[in-house]
Amino acid sequence: DTAVSQTPKYLVTQMGNDKSIKCEQNLGHDTMYWYKQDSKKFLKIMFSYNNKELIINETVPNRFSPKSPDKAHLNLHINSLELGDSAVYFCASSQDQGYSDEQYFGPGTRLTVT
Amino acid sequence: DQQVKQNSPSLSVQEGRISILNCDYTNSMFDYFLWYKKYPAEGPTFLISISSIKDKNEDGRFTVFLNKSAKHLSLHIVPSQPGDSAVYFCAAVKFSGGYNKLIFGAGTRLAVHP
């Protein structure tokens, strides 16, 4: 059983399209995250939800909208895709929001915008 | 601005020898640090952490050292094994806006060869 799963694993789409990435965790964790790994390989936090409530919202374009229907799911919807959105997106979860709470990552979704 | 820096993008080590991966940070307010390991096509997995009240934490073959005055930490792997070949990310916990978030370095690719 995969602890944190993401779908799809690969996503190739054209500029201007709208796409969604889904994430599910079966660890019973309260907190979930979205990270973006850009071409320079840095992993940067985008959003975090705790018990379905948005708690971290970094400087991310409004075209990116996270949605958490329940504690186990955190989806990422991207409108009007741009070339610069090409990256690997990782979902993660942790038991809580404490600094020592280990984060468990999904396998990533490689998004390519052409 | 890169608050967590891993200045060596790659490192090659012979099996059985020691691997030393380095990480520097700029923010003296960081008080908890983690190392994550990442294999290709997988998400990062937690390896080891250290609180700023300590200068060393050991877990089997892995030891993390923290030098607060130099704002430097290092991960030692001894003895190195081929299965250790992966990308290693250093991360620091930043408390911002009432919540904790991870700030990652760009990673160091370790290759352990026989």
Say yes or no to pLDDT of A1 above 70: no
Whether the pLDDT of residue A59 is over 90: the answer is no
B99 — pLDDT class (breaks 50, 70, 90):
confident
CB-count exposure of residue B12 (10 Å: 0-12, 13-18, 19+): exposed
Contacts of B99 (CB under 8 A, 6+ apart): A48, A55, A56, A97
How sure is the predictor about A15, in pLDDT bands with cuts at 50, 70 and 90? very high
Interface residues from chain A to B (CB-CB < 8 Å)? 4, 40-45, 48, 55-56, 90, 92, 97-100, 102-108
Question: Can you read off the two tokens belonging to residue B5?
Answer: 């820096």
Apex CA A1: angle with CA B88 and CA B102, to 5°?
35
Q: Which of B45, B95, B104 sits opposite A43 (nearest CB)?
A: B104
Instruction: Tell me which H or E stretch contains A37.
Output: strand A31-37
| Chain B contact set for A99 (CB, 8 A) | 31-32, 93, 95, 100
Measured CA to CA, the distance from residue A111 to residue B95 in angstroms comes to 30
A to B CB pairs, distance under 8 Å = 57
CA distance B55 to chain A (A): 16
Phi, psi angle pair for A84, to nearest 5°: -70, -10
Please indicate whether, in this complex, the C-beta atoms of B44 and A43 are within 8 angstroms of each other: yes
Cross-strand partners of B110: B11, B86
Interface with chain B: mutation pick from A5, A25, A34, A43, highest number of B CBs within 10 Å: A43
Is A41–B102 a contact, with Cβ atoms under 8 angstroms apart?
no
Contact B66, B50 (CB under 8 A): yes
> Residue B24 — very low, low, confident or very high, per pLDDT cuts 50/70/90?
very high
CB within 8 Å: A97 and B104:
no
Q: Which two structure tokens, joined as six digits, stand for A11? A: 């996503």
Q: What is the mean pLDDT of chain B?
A: 95
Q: What is the pLDDT of residue A79?
A: 97
pLDDT (0 to 100) of residue B100: 85
Please tell me which of the candidates A99, A104, A106 has its beta carbon nearest to residue B93. A99
Q: What are the DSSP E strand ranges found in chain B?
A: 4-5, 10-14, 19-25, 32-38, 45-51, 56-59, 62-67, 72-77, 86-96, 99-104, 108-113
- A37, A50 contact by CB (below 8 A): no
Distance from CA of A108 to the nearest CA of B (A): 6
Q: How far is B42 from chain A (nearest CA, A)?
A: 4
Residue B48 forms contact with A (CB below 8 Å)? no
Indicate the DSSP class of residue B84.
Answer: G
